[in-house]
Amino acid sequence: MLNVGLIGYGYWGPNLFRNFNANSGFRVTAVADRCPAVREKLAKAHPGLIIVAEAGELITMAGIDALAVATPVATHYPIASKALDAGKHVMMEKPLCTTAEEARDLITRAERAGRVLMVDHTFLFTGAVQTIQDLHRKGDLGDVCYFDSVRVNLGLFQPDVNVLWDLAPHDLSILNTLVDEDPLHVEAAGYCHVNPGLPDMVYLTLHYPDNKVAHLNLSWMSPVKIRRVAIGGTRKMLIWDDLNPEEKIKIYNSGIEFQPETSRNTILPDYRIGDITSPRVPKYEALNGVVEHFRRVITGEVTSIMDGRKGLRVVSILERAQASLDAHLKRVSEAGGGIR
């Protein structure tokens, strides 16, 4: 039984609390949160629980084996670095931290301390994403040509992040299981309709070798919520509509019959339009799988699929995207654009 300390009991914290306690290998023994009202409510509901205000107290607390951290992203690096140095296993909410440099430093510290550093990219443990990964692993899709995501809704505006950092980590963590390479180019354009300096619409394009492309349409300004990812493979294509309860994934046995090398100048490729299959996607709480994975990585039963290096790649892409976004915003602003 591993004792867990939970840092941050805001939106996501209660889910972590519940899932860690539901896992027979963990017990949440302490929680840190800066909000007095939150601490008071927790104390009333859970008499035996250690409750403190400051993350620092948990980091150094004896008897705690692992920390789960659900705080604003700007605080991730200081908390995680100290926690690893103090010999705790650490599970960070996504994204891991704010720069690639921080991420590399955390990886080094985890290795030096011999402790587990994991990032909670919860989507990787959903039935839908695991179904997609299975299809990809078995070669059903062929080579992935494109990944095209529309992830839009009305708000919610976040105080500390723009729409890129809010929504892109989901797509990037999934994309990285399909395309195990760094992008050659990362280009982002963004628009600030509500708060100046805080883009609420971002178009992100990732260019990979061999003409692979990923495109993310991210918005807090859409009147309807859409969670739709199209993945084009050389053999099959699929659409993942996460809001369709009955048919989350549709696999299209359709495609372009690619021409052999010698006939590349011909211009009318053949189409293949076949059946559409919607595989049964198992329904369960993904976070339950995340917590169990954390346990099995700590005990050495499995290799982590959400380790620091995975987190680093996501952060690294976000960092490059933000640089491109900043350049774009500057260019548009100089050209006479800007907030109304």
Least distance CB 311 / a copy of itself (angstroms): 25
Least distance CB 232 / a copy of itself (angstroms): 5
Least distance CB 282 / a copy of itself (angstroms): 10
Q: Which of residues 264-283 bind a copy of itself (CB under 8 A)?
A: 264-269, 271, 273-280
Angle between helices 76-85 and 100-113 (to 10 degrees): 20
**For residue 142, what are its two tokens?**
């062929």
Least distance CB 189 / a copy of itself (angstroms): 5
What is the full DSSP assignment across 81-112? Answer: HHHHHTT-EEEEESS--S-HHHHHHHHHHHHH
| CB contact set of 170 (below 8 Å; sequence gap of 6+) | 94, 121, 123, 151
Compare residues 59 and 229 and give the one whose CB is closer to a copy of itself. Answer: 229
Kindly report the backbone phi and psi dihedral angles of residue 282, in degrees, each rounded to the nearest multiple of 5, phi listed first.
-60, 145
DSSP 8-state assignment for residue 261: G
Our finding on whether 17 is near a copy of itself (CB under 8 A) is: no
Our finding on whether 338 is near a copy of itself (CB under 8 A) is: yes
Q: Judged by CB under 8 A, which stretch of 25-33, 34-42, 94-102, 179-187 contacts a copy of itself?
A: 179-187
Q: Judged by CB under 8 A, which stretch of 99-107, 167-175, 259-267, 314-322 contacts a copy of itself?
A: 259-267
Least distance CB 187 / a copy of itself (angstroms): 7
What is the full DSSP assignment across 235-250? Answer: S-EEEEETT-SS-SEE
Least distance CB 220 / a copy of itself (angstroms): 8
Q: Which of residues 180-239 bind a copy of itself (CB under 8 A)?
A: 184-185, 187, 189, 191-196, 198, 201, 203, 205, 207-211, 213, 215, 217, 219, 221-225, 230, 232, 237-239
231: exposed, middle or buried (C-beta count within 10 Å: 0-12, 13-18, 19+)? buried
Q: Which of residues 75-114 bind a copy of itself (CB under 8 A)?
A: none
Compare residues 301 and 334 and give the one whose CB is closer to a copy of itself. Answer: 334
Our finding on whether 146 is near a copy of itself (CB under 8 A) is: yes
Least distance CB 285 / a copy of itself (angstroms): 18
Are the C-beta atoms of residues 13 and 6 closer than 8 Å to each other? yes
Q: Which of 73, 145, 287, 290 binds a copy of itself (CB under 8 A)?
A: 145
**For residue 260, what are its two tokens?**
């052999």
Least distance CB 245 / a copy of itself (angstroms): 8
Query: How far apart are alpha carbons 137 and 142 in whole angstroms?
Result: 9
Compare residues 53 and 339 and give the one whose CB is closer to a copy of itself. Answer: 339
Evaluate the omega torsion of the peptide bond into residue 156 and state whether it is cis, within 30 degrees of 0: yes
Q: Give the closest residue to 235 by CA, choosing from 215, 258, 212.
A: 258
Our finding on whether 330 is near a copy of itself (CB under 8 A) is: no
**For residue 313, what are its two tokens?**
């790649």
Q: How many residues bind a copy of itself (CB under 8 A)?
A: 77
Our finding on whether 159 is near a copy of itself (CB under 8 A) is: yes
Q: Tell me the one-letter amino acid at 278.
A: S
Evaluate the omega torsion of the peptide bond into residue 95 and state whether it is cis, within 30 degrees of 0: yes
